[in-house]
Amino acid sequence: MFLSSLFVPINKNGPAKVKDPGLVNIVKAGYALYDNHRDALLLLPLGIRLRESLAEELEDTFSARGVQSICTGNPEEGALMVASRTLKTQNQLPLLFMERSENAFYLSAVLSDQDSMVAWMEDFLVRLYKTLDYVEVYSAFVGEASYEEGIWEEHWSFYVPAELHAWKGEEGFICTECAWGGHADSLLSEDFSEDEEEKQEDLQPLREVHTPGADTIEELCRQLDLPPEKTLKTMFFSTEGEETSRVVVALMRGDRKISPLKLAKCLNAPSVRLATPEELHKAMGILGGYLGPQGVPENVMMVADGSVEGLVNVAVGANKPDYHCTGACWGRDFSTPHVTDLLQLEEGSPCPRCKNPLQKQTWRKVASFGTAPGLRARYSSLDYRDEEHQKREPQFLSGRVDLEQILLSLFEGESPLPLLLAPFVAYLYVGEDAEDSEEAGDLLEEVRERLEEADIPTLTDDCTEKPKNREFNAMVLRFPWVLQITREGVAQGKVLLSSAEDENLLLAPEDLDSYFESFFEEALGMPEEEEGEDVLF
């Protein structure tokens, strides 16, 4: 195809006041425009080609699993709409559907109550993970929780590393050692205990110590000459959004922070906040400041982070001003059956996987999968009959892939687009040193015809007047290969090829077909899934 026949408004300047390099680069390359009034990305012909190639890869991946395309105009709940009108008996299940919206790809599964939700979730997640990896989008896998429509939901999301000012980016952390990624409230499916075995300690007696003004962990550690991990935070929270607010106690090791979101999820409350002095006095009969976990009334629920279970000889509040207790031990002086993940990560926290300190990282959220209980509740009458004609309620699994954010991630760095996604394999143009050569046009035409005969999609520049601008086009378009007609090449009847594999290679037009053939064979040969392979879980 000729550049003159395609709308590609390449620009050396990105959109004003935009700092996201992915957004800047995709606009400069003429794949899209940015509408600052609506804060929206407007895809142009090249951008649409790129998006459609990505969607086709996803469709091929899930079609191989038996997922079928539907078009309901409401992709978020389209599978439930279809199931509510067609599902009658168990032998119709599972119903596996996919549907496209303008910039997103939705996956849904309606399953019998006998199906393993975990197995289906893992299957979908692994397939998406492999597809993203195959098209060179490298993602982190994050557990999350959110409260929607009166229900807490756990779900799994994929995040792609981005620069600081990424458009619609989210702040989080990354481990530079093992590449674990997440954010402050990520659900930790892995054990967050220390790698080293706890040293056996003789249990100390519980002893009151005068600690005047020690109302922070730092000051307490200074006065008692203890490391923060040998202290215990006892914090009182009140639930919000409920008919009757509850006061609860949350326990956390002194060197870590409590996530209000995780605590709210544990309590099945919309949200929590720190309890007021009045609420503390009503619940505990004492003002806050030096409260400890011992002696908490039975009617006050106590929740402990997993790092607290088993702690011995730690400093805790003594339940009276200016005093703490040392030697407090789990099981002897305090305990609770409610132990869960309450950790709020922060910069410098040990990585949940390898304990290396976490660093700040901006992420693009590119996909999320979960059971969508709020959405499922809208179709409460959805049921089916089992083999014994008993009424059953199906399970529901839902996922969304953000095509737009994946496209931006492809333009984040300087790498060429993946061969499977690029709108064209190569950009062909006449270089500056061959501009005045009469034979240059003939060689360009010969090369173009050869590539067309070999069915190698190429964009031939026939309209950019300034040679320097053609070189700029070659850089920003990010096609896998650049073919340049040079003075040296004209003399030898060859074209100069540049790519990530070969920086400068002169090839005769008749050799182009065989050169590209091996790359296409490799790109189209997506590795088959190994039986029993477990990538994410």
The whole-number pLDDT of residue 282 equals 85
Domains of the chain, earliest start first: 3-186+358-410 (3.30.930.10), 207-341 (3.90.960.10), 426-524 (3.40.50.800)
Question: Per residue in 261-316, pLDDT tens?
Answer: 999 999 999 999 999 988 988 888 765 557 889 888 888 999 999 999 999 999 99
- Report the distance separating Cα 297 and Cα 320, nearest Å: 15
Class of residue 393 by CB neighbours under 10 A (exposed 0-12, middle 13-18, buried 19+)? middle
- Report pTM: 0.90
Least reliable range by pLDDT among 35-39, 198-202, 344-348, 466-470: 198-202
The whole-number pLDDT of residue 148 equals 87
pLDDT category at 50 given cuts 50, 70, 90 is very high
| Look-up of token digits 């006061």 | 247
Q: What is the average pLDDT across 383-405?
A: 97
Residues 6 or more apart whose CB falls under 8 angstroms from that of 524 comprise 420
Name the amino acid, one letter, at 324: H
Give strand ranges (E) for 431-471: 458-460
Question: Per residue in 152-176, pLDDT tens?
Answer: 999 999 999 999 999 999 999 999 9
Structure tokens at 355: 């304990």
Phi, psi for residue 261 in degrees, rounded to 5: -65, -45
Q: What is the average pLDDT across 408-429?
A: 95
364 and 149 in contact (C-beta within 8 Å)? no
Q: Distance from CA of residue 95 to its chain's centroid?
A: 26
Give yes or no for residue 197 having a pLDDT over 90.
no
Give yes or no for residue 239 having a pLDDT over 70.
yes
Q: Distance from CA of residue 172 to its chain's centroid?
A: 10
The whole-number pLDDT of residue 284 equals 80
Direct distance between the N- and C-terminal alpha carbons of the chain, in angstroms, rounded to an integer = 45
Give yes or no for residue 191 having a pLDDT over 80.
no
Residues 6 or more apart whose CB falls under 8 angstroms from that of 355 comprise 194, 195
